[in-house]
Structure 1
Amino acid sequence: MWEVPNFIKYVKLLVLASVLAGVFSGLRGSVFTVVGGRVNVRLRIQLMDSLLSQDIGFFDTTKTGDITSRLSSDTTLVGDQVTLNVNVFLRSLVQ
């Protein structure tokens, strides 16, 4: 019925598949961390370019704290959501 050599072979294949899945999952996480950082930098550069092209009246009516918040936390939130959604989409395609 069950042969021990075949059973051991299948257990080894299962362990190998699990290890490879873990390695590739770690690589995917690392890639999305790097990509997320680049997206955040690109968003901040675009926002800064947009801010620098505004008229003086914009800075008279807009609070400095609002501008600083947009540059720091809001760009990070948007970048994180973009990379998370792309990650989930690609993972769903593969599965």
Structure 2
Amino acid sequence: MRLNISSDTIELEIKPFVLQVDPLQFQEEIKYLHSHMKSGKILPHVEGIYFKSNVEPLTFHADYESKQKILQMAANMGMGQEAFLVTTQLS
């Protein structure tokens, strides 16, 4: 999950997940969330509601030295390896 807050906007980026609540009990809240979504979907699920986002897994293998370099660079910037790789890729 990534959270960015500015003076007039809260931007939340999530991985897909199921929220185990009764959709009928939270209809207004679900409508509110849906009306403010930029991308993704809110879908019914047997265990609650499914938040489907446009975040996709990316898996790859690297040699030990490359991974250690990434970990060190991420630590130097005060972030984890996933956040480092995503922000570096988007820059």
Q: TM-score, normalised by structure 2?
A: 0.25
User: Which structure shows the bigger proportion of residues in strand conformation?
Assistant: 2
Relative contact order, higher structure (CA 8 A, sep 6+): 1
Q: TM-score, normalised by structure 1?
A: 0.25
| Bigger CA radius of gyration | 1
